[in-house]
């Protein structure tokens, strides 16, 4: 009987399910800033995908330069084609990863916010 009284008092002080605070005020109090962790993760993904995209474009440029300077050498032309093909495949993988990351983050944001909206967070 005493135990049930303690349990109901604890349940009455529970927070509603729809809160999307996620402890941001604790981060502000400790000097960590008020940026939502989901926004930070989206920014990290955006920067990583951008760097990988730059690397893929550089690979394509190396292949093009190798092809231009091959001077008719079939071995170098074949190597250049491999570089270009690898760069194009890399770009396709990076764009697919970006699309998947955007979808997952949008779904996580809409599932964890009380309004159900996307919140405008994209990687």
Structure tokens, 77: 């032309």
Predicted TM-score of the model (pTM): 0.64
C-alpha distance across the termini of the chain, in Å: 53
Give, in order, the Cα–Cα distances in Å from 12 to each of 17, 20, 23: 13, 20, 21
Q: Quote the CA–CA distance of 91 and 94 in Å, as a whole number.
A: 5
pLDDT digits 0-9 by tens, 56-113: 999 999 999 999 999 989 999 999 999 999 999 999 999 999 999 989 988 888 888 7
């Amino acid at each position: 009987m005493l135990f049930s009284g303690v349990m109901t008092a604890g349940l009455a002080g529970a927070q509603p399910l729809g809160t999307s605070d996620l402890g941001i005020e604790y981060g502000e109090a400790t000097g960590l800033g008020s940026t939502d962790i989901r926004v930070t993760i989206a920014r990290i993904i955006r920067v990583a995908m951008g760097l990988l995209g730059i690397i893929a474009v550089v690979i394509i440029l190396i292949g093009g330069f190798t092809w231009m300077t091959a001077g008719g050498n079939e071995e170098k032309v074949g190597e250049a084609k491999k570089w270009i093909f690898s760069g194009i495949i890399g770009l396709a993988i990076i764009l697919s990863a970006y699309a998947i990351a955007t979808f997952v983050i949008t779904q996580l944001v809409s599932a964890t916010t009380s309004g159900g909206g996307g919140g405008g967070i994209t990687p």
